[in-house]
Chain A
Amino acid sequence: MKPVLLIDFGSTYTKVTAADVDAPRLLGTANSYTTIETDINDGLADALEKLERQTGKLDFAARYACSSAAGGLRMLASGLVPELTAEAAKTASLGAGAKVLKTYAFQLNEDDADEIKAIDPDIFLLCGGTDGGNTACIIHNAEVLREIGGDYPIILAGNRNAARTCSRILEGREVHVTENVMPAFGTLNIEPTQQVIREVFLNRIIEAKGLSKASELISGIMMPTPSAVMAAIKLLAEGTETQKGIGDLVAVDVGGATTDVYSVAEGLPDDPRTALRGLPEPYIKRTVEGDIGMRYSIHGIVDAAGLKKTAQIAGLTEERLSEIVERFAAHTDLLPYDDETQRADEALASMAIRVAVTRHAGRLSEIFGLGGLQLIQTGKNLKNVDQFIVTGGSLIHTEHTGRIASYGFYDAEDPGSLKPQNCTVLVDRSYIIAAMGLLSQYYPDAALTILKEELKKDDRTE
């Protein structure tokens, strides 16, 4: 046996997972409160003790950790046109596991400057202009950032013709210059930026967030938790050299504050005559709905899905549902405690999935022109994806996971939304996806074996 310890320092819980990489299997999981205010190792020690109570004493060959503690990797991004370089900047940041608090387009104004100062991000990603294109905007924005001051690192990934000027403007600040997120019109080039974000996270953010104390005990890399999740789902979809993956997939993590959606798929149109519009889509895409979450963002679910519709699905009156929503919002650690609150929780999770997957998926629109019907696709076509993975407390602790997940599927009421059709639902019952993403960095085959074993087909439906 060769046990490896995987640690996820979350905002509330520190979660530990032990896996045997010799004969790949899950050995156990446990969690405790994250203790970042005092010493992050206290919570870790407590979680470990709980773990070893189940598994017996383990002699770990390695310990790897990821973190979303202390607010996660808090980023701001800016670009020029909202649908173009600003969108590319946001996509790059989300794909690197960041929490993108806001994305700015065009020239930053004084209100933006005040807001940026107040947010005081971990990293600012400054973009705008294709190479050889507009330089005025990014130069103006560099000047605004200089005026604001602060000591967070700035990543420059805009028009290369403005990079020198911007660096000079920002002299004295930590500036990382990398390739443009959109070097030519309509091409997306986000990997170089993501690489820089990872390096800055490792070299600087961990230290700044008081996580470095923990790193003495830890042998391997730290990354933001969403990056670990992305690594796991990429592995699961693609497989390794010796093991096949399960193919294209969609994964949804319904959390208390946000709902994250991941897709691994090219997402091209079914019919080659369909015109593709908008930015090219990344093969692995992550979107985060900051207004959709089961507790802190519970009002956002009702706002987006409608109280009437949600109450209907819950089988409750609108008044009763409203009361329950208020209670969950006020007591964010409250779990469903009776039949009505359980039904409310499930209906809210269903709507969270519907809203978040609809926003993530692409859209097909029809134009009746002079020459007849013409189809236009924006975003990713996920209709042919047949694996749907769900995680998050409200989904893994219920018997009705399959029914809730199905709200993320293709829906005849909204035929233009290119959501997956005919999916198998896989449930992350032991909540191990992030841990396996970490493990995959060193033991991809073991991680894949465990993922395939632990992600259970939803067999409890109805």
Chain B
Amino acid sequence: MEQNKKTLIIGVIGADVHAVGNQILYHAFTEAGFNVVNLGVMVSQEEFINAAIETNADAIVVSSLYGQGELDCRGLREKCDEAGLEGILLYVGGNIVIGKQPFEEVEKRFKAMGFDRSFPPGTPPEVDIEYLKKDLHVED
């Protein structure tokens, strides 16, 4: 693990088994110069947190594809605070809610849950990477 690289924890939260996007994100983030700890699919909040503690991660990037994102993500920020990960960057993306809802509404709800950024369906990895670099102060 290279020292000057930023460390990201990625995974698909809850009982979600959609594995393809997760693999794509893993490669895209690694390519972009991050240390990526990929927890794969069906990841619990506790697993995200434990991995972030041991690896001293800079951000947790949560994917949710199957529509249960809102339920699965609830309380993650509070648990991070509890575990001493105050201020860690939290992102979420995929198909985070069921069906088509105005995304501003969705974004507001996830913001209230403590996610620094949330992304609408179909957001390409490049956009995600751009924001990560900005938020983590990574110079190109």
Contact = CB atoms under 8 A, between A and B. Distances in A.
B45 interface: no
Interface residues of B, number: 24
Contact of B2 (A132, A182, A185, A275): A132
Contact of B35 (A132, A182, A275, A369): A132
B55 A369 contact: no
Interface in A172-199: 182, 184-186
Interface string A66-84: 0000000000000011011
Given A369-B17, A371-B66, A374-B42, A81 B3 contact: no
A263 interface: no
A371 B37 CA distance: 26
Contacts of A185: 37, 51, 54-55
Given A132-B35, A133-B7, A275-B41, A370 B54 contact: no
Nearest to B37: A185
B55 A132 contact: yes
Contact of B54 (A182, A367, A374): A182
Nearest to B55: A133
Nearest to B14: A369
A266 to B, nearest CB: 20
B112 interface: no
B15 interface: yes
B54 A130 contact: yes
Q: Chain B interface secondary structure, helix, strand, loop or mixed?
A: loop
Nearest to A134: B56
Given A275-B42, A374-B17, A374-B42, A80 B1 contact: no
A371 B1 contact: no
A376 interface: yes
Size bracket, chain A contacts: 20 to 34
Contact of B68 (A134, A186, A275, A370): A370
B67 interface: yes
Given A83-B50, A84-B50, A185-B51, A129 B56 contact: yes
A134 B88 CA distance: 14
B53 interface: yes
Contacts of A128: 54
A367 B53 contact: no
B79 to A, nearest CB: 13
A243 interface: no
16 contacts: A81-B50, A84-B50, A84-B54, A128-B54, A130-B1, A132-B7, A133-B1, A133-B7, A133-B54, A161-B3, A185-B55, A275-B42, A367-B42, A370-B15, A371-B66, A376-B42
Interface of B: 1-3, 7, 14-17, 35, 37, 40-42, 47, 50-51, 53-57, 66-68
Q: Which 9 A-B pairs give the minimum distances between C-beta atoms?
A: A369-B15, A132-B1, A133-B55, A134-B56, A133-B56, A81-B50, A185-B37, A130-B55, A130-B54
